């Protein structure tokens, strides 16, 4: 319910159906394939994308229009999706087109700006969804749409409000784009840090490309890491959800940054199964895990000390550290994009899925630095990545704030208070 007392002088509260005509389209019979061989664009709700519709996936005939409730809407018509997953999505027609019954057309007239309605409906989408009926396929009836209340200023003010909204949202989108670019640059920098680390450049800045620092050796993982094994999934009766004796790790428990998510859908196996059938894949705190089935590849986690023993399924390989190699050194090595690329290039991809053999995991070229330098490399990586993480956190917060501010801009627009938002916008972008 809109509070009339907060609206500027000259504004009214109207129902959408009082100020514009709305109507939905229809679907011609699929039993008549000729209906779908015409040249009249036919819009489905999944094609609404907040932009301008200039073409459609399907086109229908004049006969299809005559024998169904489909109708041709003129270019410039505002469309809103009424059903299902696309509910509340909006688009403008950039062409004359028909629509199916899940799309409602809203027609501009001499008293209302369709862009004003567009921004108000975008702002009102959460409320419309709350009013929707149905379970798996919620829908907004035309009755709900027609009874939607909106603040209604004179047309000249509507146009001014639209211009101000677009000015502010343009600034907001520019700021958001800068933040997203910085976010992507941080990901690239993180990959570069890991690549430099295992080329020796973090601890030996003068090292030339293609050379290894003094004291380093290029070996195969299996030559220096004696325990490299994958797991196995026992029969369902041996798996229990939520609690049990031995935690059983699946790929969804692995992360891309070396941490383990043991709280996600935790699964357990009996200790007897763990010690007998899955003995070769027993994991201990400090073991390093990587998924060998993808996409995506490159999920790497260090086993935590939350439990003294763990186990893994067949899509995961464990690498056990020893007195020559530290756990974190292995973890960062496996996260290194050069390592992931090597695994992809030497593995088989079937039907878009990567499958890496355990034997392949024992053949990975591994730059072995002295243990003291490994610790130094880990320190150099973490000091750089910790700065990245702080900046990424700030960017993520700013992006959330930008989305909140988008709704704030629209809220103030429809309360007649846009002038006070400029300073808030500048602060959000900064």
The top-level CATH class assigned to 4-153 is alpha beta
C-alpha closest to that of 190 among 401, 324, 384: 384
C-alpha closest to that of 200 among 187, 217, 188: 217
> For residue 410, what pLDDT is reported?
93
pLDDT of 121 strictly over 70: yes
Which pLDDT band holds residue 84 (cuts at 50, 70, 90)? confident
> For residue 136, what pLDDT is reported?
62
Do residues 428 and 402 lie in contact, with contact meaning Cβ atoms separated by under 8 Å? Answer: yes
Quickly count helices (H) and strands (E) in the chain. 12, 24
- What mean pLDDT do residues 69-88 have? 90
The DSSP bridge pattern shows strands 365-368 and 217-220 to be antiparallel
- What mean pLDDT do residues 153-180 have? 94
> Where on the phi/psi map is residue 140: left (φ > 0), alpha (ψ -120 to 50), or beta?
beta
Cβ neighbours around 76 below 10 Å, total: 14
Per residue in 360-378, pLDDT (tens digit) is 999 999 999 999 999 999 9
> For residue 7, what pLDDT is reported?
86
- What mean pLDDT do residues 301-327 have? 96
Residues of the chain with pLDDT > 90: what percent?
A: 75
Do residues 395 and 247 lie in contact, with contact meaning Cβ atoms separated by under 8 Å? Answer: no
Chain centroid offset of residue 279 CA: 38
Highest mean pLDDT range out of 195-204, 339-348, 407-416? 195-204
- What mean pLDDT do residues 199-216 have? 92
Do residues 53 and 45 lie in contact, with contact meaning Cβ atoms separated by under 8 Å? Answer: no
pLDDT of 426 strictly over 90: no
- What mean pLDDT do residues 31-35 have? 86
Provide the 3-class DSSP secondary structure of residue 429. helix
- In the DSSP assignment, the letter for residue 258 is B
Cis peptide before 177 (omega within 30 of 0): no
pLDDT of 240 strictly over 60: yes
Which pLDDT band holds residue 129 (cuts at 50, 70, 90)? confident
pLDDT of 430 strictly over 50: no
- What mean pLDDT do residues 322-335 have? 96
How many residues are present in the chain? 430
Which pLDDT band holds residue 67 (cuts at 50, 70, 90)? confident
Do residues 307 and 353 lie in contact, with contact meaning Cβ atoms separated by under 8 Å? Answer: no
> For residue 187, what pLDDT is reported?
94
- What mean pLDDT do residues 169-187 have? 94
The DSSP bridge pattern shows strands 90-93 and 52-53 to be parallel
CB-facing half-sphere around the CA of 292: CA atoms within 13 A: 26
Cβ neighbours around 236 below 10 Å, total: 7
pLDDT of 428 strictly over 80: no
At the topology level of CATH, where does 217-368 sit? Adenine-n6-DNA-methyltransferase TaqI; Chain A, domain 2 (3.90.220)
pLDDT of 228 strictly over 70: yes
- What mean pLDDT do residues 5-33 have? 90
At 2, list the tokens.
Answer: 């809109």
Domain borders along the chain are 4-153, 217-368
- What mean pLDDT do residues 22-27 have? 91
- What mean pLDDT do residues 115-143 have? 83
Rounded to whole angstroms, what are the CA distances from 239 to 78, 221, 305?
A: 53, 32, 22
Q: Could you check whether 4-153 and 217-368 share the same CATH topology?
A: yes
pLDDT of 416 strictly over 60: yes
- What mean pLDDT do residues 129-155 have? 83
For the chain, give the mean pLDDT.
91
> For residue 1, what pLDDT is reported?
65
Q: Which residues contact 2 (CB under 8 A, 6 or more apart)?
A: 13, 149, 150, 151
At 99, list the tokens.
Answer: 């629509």
> For residue 182, what pLDDT is reported?
96
Which pLDDT band holds residue 140 (cuts at 50, 70, 90)? confident
């Amino acid at each position: 319910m809109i509070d009339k007392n907060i609206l500027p002088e000259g504004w009214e509260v109207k129902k959408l159906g009082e100020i514009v005509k709305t109507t939905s389209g229809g679907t011609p019979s699929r039993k008549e394939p000729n209906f779908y061989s015409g040249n009249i664009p036919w819009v489905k709700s999944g094609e609404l994308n907040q932009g301008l519709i200039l073409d459609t996936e399907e086109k229908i005939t004049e006969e299809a229009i005559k024998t169904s409730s489909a109708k041709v809407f003129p270019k410039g018509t505002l469309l809103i999706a009424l059903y299902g997953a696309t509910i509340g999505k909006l688009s403008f027609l950039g062409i004359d087109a028909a629509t199916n019954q899940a799309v409602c057309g809203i027609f501009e007239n001499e008293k209302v700006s369709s862009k004003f309605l567009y921004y108000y409906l975008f702002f009102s989408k959460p409320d419309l969804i709350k009013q929707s009926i149905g379970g798996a396929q919620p829908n907004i009836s035309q009755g709900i749409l027609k009874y939607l209340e909106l603040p209604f200023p004179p047309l000249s003010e509507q146009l001014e409000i639209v211009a101000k909204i677009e000015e502010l949202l343009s600034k907001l989108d520019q700021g958001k784009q800068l933040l997203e670019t910085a976010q992507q640059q941080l990901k690239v920098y993180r990959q570069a840090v890991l690549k430099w680390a295992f080329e020796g450049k973090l601890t030996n800045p003068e090292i030339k490309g293609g050379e290894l620092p003094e004291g380093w050796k290029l070996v195969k993982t299996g030559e220096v890491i004696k325990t490299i094994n994958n797991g196995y999934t026992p029969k369902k009766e041996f798996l229990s959800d939520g609690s049990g004796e031995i935690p059983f790790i699946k790929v969804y428990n692995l992360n891309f940054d070396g941490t383990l998510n043991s709280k996600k859908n935790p699964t357990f196996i009996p200790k007897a199964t763990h010690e007998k059938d899955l003995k070769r894949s027993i994991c201990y705190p400090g073991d390093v895990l990587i998924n060998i089935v993808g996409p995506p590849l490159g999920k790497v986690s260090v086993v935590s000390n939350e439990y003294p023993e763990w186990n893994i399924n067949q899509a995961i390989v464990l690498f056990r550290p020893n007195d020559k190699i530290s756990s974190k050194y292995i973890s960062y090595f496996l996260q290194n994009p050069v390592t992931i690329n090597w695994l992809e290039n030497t593995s088989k991809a079937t039907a878009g899925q990567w499958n890496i053999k355990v034997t392949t995991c024992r053949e990975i070229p591994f730059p072995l630095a002295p243990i003291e330098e490994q610790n130094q490399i880990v320190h150099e990586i973490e000091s750089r990545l910790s700065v990245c993480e702080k900046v990424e956190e700030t960017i993520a917060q700013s992006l959330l704030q930008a989305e909140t501010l988008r709704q704030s801009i629209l809220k103030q627009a429809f309360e007649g208070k846009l002038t006070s938002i400029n300073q808030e916008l500048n602060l959000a972008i900064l």
